[in-house]
Amino acid sequence: MTVDDAKANGSPDGFANGSPGGSPDGPSDEERLAQLGYTQVLARRMSAFSNYAVSFTIISVLSGCMTLYLFGMNTGGPAVITWGWVAVGLMTLFVGLSMAEICSAYPTSAGLYFWAHRLAPPRSAAAWAWFTGWFNVLGQVAATAGIDFGAASFLGAYLNLQFGFEVTPGRTVLLFAAILLLHGLLNTFGVRLAAVLNSVSVWWHVLGVVVIVGALTFVPDHHQSAGFVFGHFVNNTGWGSGGYVVLLGLLMAQYTFTGYDASAHMTEETHDASTAGPQGIVRSIWTSWIAGFVLLLGFTFAIQDYNGELASSTGAPPAQILLDALGATAGKLLLLVVIGAQLFCGMASVTANSRMIYAFSRDGALPFSRVWHTVSPRTRTPVAAVWLAAAGALVLGLPYLINETAYAAVTSIAVIGLYIAYVIPTLLRVRKGAAFARGPWHLGRWSHLIGVISIAWVTVITVLFMLPQVSPVTWETFNYAPIAVLVVLGFAAAWWAASARRWFMGVGEREGALEGERG
């Protein structure tokens, strides 16, 4: 059956009986992309596993869980670290399921803002797409900053232990810049190298978690009790409300569960994108949920001296836990495993971030868009977008030079920006109801309920992570996440009002196809 035949039989998107792109019964990946209004430019060389590997690598339990473990120890302690992971993982799975269904219908690198444009009412579609895209860019840049800054912190801790390297804010920022430079270089060599490194990263993470947890289980002579791991509460925030501290403590888990939109942004480079993309989103979440729970239990049971490890001179309690529980040699070796995972994670984050920048600038939505959507003729990758992603992340990390709580603010910005962008298409999908032209991967009758749960959860965390995290609130402890979000939102709103509302149409106006699909 041809695409025209499928449309004639009632499928406005050209799917025959829900067949994915590239199947004998439906359009090829390139034909489906053309139906969505784009010409195949990027190299389509990724398998379904490679697509999943990008999101799994960006979630990276060895990055998110470890870099915010200090935050978790102060903000709720073991009880919130453990149960917060369980609760947040479940809610994130709902969000991911809602996103995956939409990804199946619209497999393009533009991702979230394209979805918003296709799902919104025609008159306001461009505005929905515009602001969704800007939140997505903000969140992805902040996620890259958070990942690579965390890697810099752990690398500094290792250098301190091994060579007596004095860790200062200035030196940490220099390490951060060097790591961003490395990731920029790796991403200029083409998607094939990125796919190989991400595939290696999956096994690095899985085997890394197994080896670390195995060592922490069998080597130490002393372990904490189950009552401590599942019930001990710690409040070092200065706030008097335990409930407020519990909610703040969810940031550790929620920050870890970010970046899985990468599977959507990589669909233009993935075979059988209409099924591989959504599968990559969902699979990356549930496998990370399991791996992260095992990892957190391993570290928390292995705590030898809570206050001593909390105040470790390395600035990274997980590193001190490894040293105290396993000895200097084994502890340092396993610390290198953690750092390696963080470096893999940051590289994948730059990859996904650059694809979002490429797609958004392809539609003219960024300043100097003509530069950012250029593609290298040799590697067929958006090299300029790669370096913009790295430079933007560096700028977000610079406040650490004057504000030592800046890292928590960066992670809050990542969560806020990404999850607002995640939920807007879901909100529009729920409003659209039965008129939504679903792809081959869908939720059936559960779609509406799961969508409503996702919307409610994102509303809660968006408000929560803008609130002060430490008391008293001073210039040194101020959570600047609301300011960063408002600056970007204000810039996007001003540009929209002054100019973009006259020409930006999310992904370009395709009147006939859009009116037929929205009808």
- Residue 498, in any domain of the structure: no
Interacting residues of 288 by C-beta distance below 8 A, sequence separation 6+? 56, 59, 60, 61, 89, 256, 257
- Residue 8, in any domain of the structure: no
Rounded mean pLDDT of the chain? 86
The pLDDT, as a whole number, for residue 285 is 97
Identify the band that residue 404 occupies on the pLDDT scale cut at 50, 70 and 90: low
Residue 158 pLDDT > 70, yes or no? yes
* CB 175, CB 329: distance < 8 Å: no
Q: 7 or 153: which carries more pLDDT confidence?
A: 153
Interacting residues of 420 by C-beta distance below 8 A, sequence separation 6+? 132, 135, 139, 458, 462
Residue 44 pLDDT > 70, yes or no? yes
Mean of pLDDT values over 420-430: 94
- Residue 504, in any domain of the structure: no
The pLDDT, as a whole number, for residue 25 is 58
Alpha helix ranges (H) inside 164-272: 169-186, 191-218, 226-231, 242-249, 251-256, 262-265
Residue 110 pLDDT > 80, yes or no? no
The pLDDT, as a whole number, for residue 405 is 67
* CB 457, CB 95: distance < 8 Å: yes
- Residue 358, in any domain of the structure: no
CATH code, domain carrying 287: 1.20.1740.10
Residues linked to residue 76 through DSSP beta bridges, in sequence order: 234
Q: Which of 414, 493, 498 is nearest to 461 (CA)?
A: 414
- Residue 500, in any domain of the structure: no
Mean of pLDDT values over 242-271: 91
Burial class (CB in 10 A: 0-12, 13-18, 19+), 354: buried
Q: What percent of the chain has pLDDT over 70?
A: 91
Helix axes 125-163, 383-397, angle to 10 degrees: 70
Identify the band that residue 514 occupies on the pLDDT scale cut at 50, 70 and 90: very low
pLDDT tens readout for residues 205-251: 999 999 999 999 999 999 999 999 999 999 999 988 999 999 999 99
DSSP 8-state assignment for residue 381: S
Identify the band that residue 469 occupies on the pLDDT scale cut at 50, 70 and 90: confident
Q: What's the distance, CA 454 to chain centroid?
A: 16
The pLDDT, as a whole number, for residue 505 is 60
Full domain range(s) for residue 202: 36-107+133-349+407-488
pLDDT tens readout for residues 5-41: 333 333 333 333 333 344 445 688 888 888 887 788 7
- Residue 323, in any domain of the structure: yes
Q: How far apart are CA 419 and CA 285, in angstroms?
A: 14
Does residue 462 sit in helix, strand or coil? helix
Mean of pLDDT values over 109-121: 88
pLDDT tens readout for residues 284-320: 999 999 999 999 999 999 999 999 999 887 778 999 9
Q: How far apart are CA 101 and CA 454, in angstroms?
A: 13
- Residue 247, in any domain of the structure: yes
Question: How many domains, in total, are found in the chain?
Answer: 1
Question: What is the C-alpha R_g of the chain?
Answer: 22
* CB 173, CB 400: distance < 8 Å: yes
Residue 507 pLDDT > 60, yes or no? no
pLDDT tens readout for residues 318-370: 999 999 999 999 999 999 999 999 999 999 889 888 988 988 898 888 888 88
The pLDDT, as a whole number, for residue 441 is 92
Q: 270 or 93: which carries more pLDDT confidence?
A: 93
Residue 54 pLDDT > 60, yes or no? yes
- Residue 249, in any domain of the structure: yes
